[in-house]
Structure 1
Amino acid sequence: MGHIFTLILNREITEDETAALREAGCQSATFSTDSLPTNAEVTVAKLDFDDEQSPSLAEAIQSAMDAVKVVPDLSIPGLTVPAVAKVDTTVLAGEIVEPEPVNA
């Protein structure tokens, strides 16, 4: 699993615009439609990314945002990045202690 995030665009996009976005760097995106978060009556494009190529999440997001700039009058009113669970890498040093029998 790569760097996962979603871009919400300001409007629906055409097939030609989808092709232009793919060529500009959105190869790992799944394109669909959704409603604008601030106005449910407006249909917009939604791009779900699972970027396995970029070295960091920040670079994956920046690359996708730069790709959107190739299509005139297209903007990004929404970005969603799911929470990632923190991995606890703390290692505790210790020794195994054998229990002593209890005299009853």
Structure 2
Amino acid sequence: MGHTFTLVLDRKITDEESESMKKAGCDGAEFTTGAHPTNADILVTRLDIDTEAASLAEAIQSALDAVKTVPDLSAPGLFVPPQRNAAPGQDEKNSAAPPEPQK
């Protein structure tokens, strides 16, 4: 089952740092650079991740572990959209989607 989420790093990373993160488990991530969500004057790197990990929690932890391989780097932002194709009771209870109305 696929899991998607975005990590926002605390700064713009170099090509060497992105290669290090890819080797540490973010090889399928899309690395983009853009403005910080709350301060347009600061450039940061975003990792858009779509993975087939066993669970959303495992996928997020794997990405955070890859971030830790780069000195002086952190991921202060995490965005998790409602997950597609979630099995009933799996990860959807942790998504940002509103609950289904009761009939």
TM-score with structure 2 length normalisation?
0.78
**Percent same amino acid among aligned pairs?**
56
Question: Once the two structures are superposed, what CA deviation does each residue of 1:8-64 show, in whole Å capped at 9, x if it has no partner?
Answer: 000111110010000001011000012111211100000000001x10000000000
**1:75, 1:34 → 2: CA distance?**
16
Query: One-letter code of the match for 2:82?
Result: A
User: Between Structure 1 and Structure 2, how many residues are aligned?
Assistant: 87
What 5-or-longer segments of structure 1 have no aligned partner?
90-104
Segments of structure 2 that go 5 or more residues without pairing to the other structure are 89-103
Match of 1:21, SS state, is helix
My pick for the range that moved more, 68-77 or 29-38, is 29-38
Partners of 2:8 and 2:75 within 8 A in 1: yes
Indicate the structure with greater helix content. 2
Once the two structures are superposed, the pairs formed by residues 16-55 of structure 1 within 5 Å of their partners are 16-52=16-52, 54-55=53-54
Deviation of 1:85 (Å): 6.8
RMSD: 1.9
- Structure 2 match to 1:60: 59
Give the match's secondary structure for 2:26: coil
Closer, same or farther in 2 for the Cα pair 1:19/1:71, shift >3 Å? same
Once superposed, which parts of structure 1, at least 4 consecutive aligned residues long, lie more than 3 Å away? 84-87
Judged with a 3 Å threshold, the aligned counterparts in structure 2 of structure 1 residues 85 and 14 are, in CA distance, closer, same or farther, namely closer
| Larger-Rg structure | 1
Q: C-alpha distance in 1, partners of 2:84/2:23?
A: 32
Correspondence for 2:73? 74
Q: CA distance change for structure 1 residues 55 and 77 in 2, over 3 Å: closer, same or farther?
A: same
1:7, distance to aligned residue in structure 2 (A)? 0.3
Classify the secondary structure of the residue corresponding to 1:74.
coil
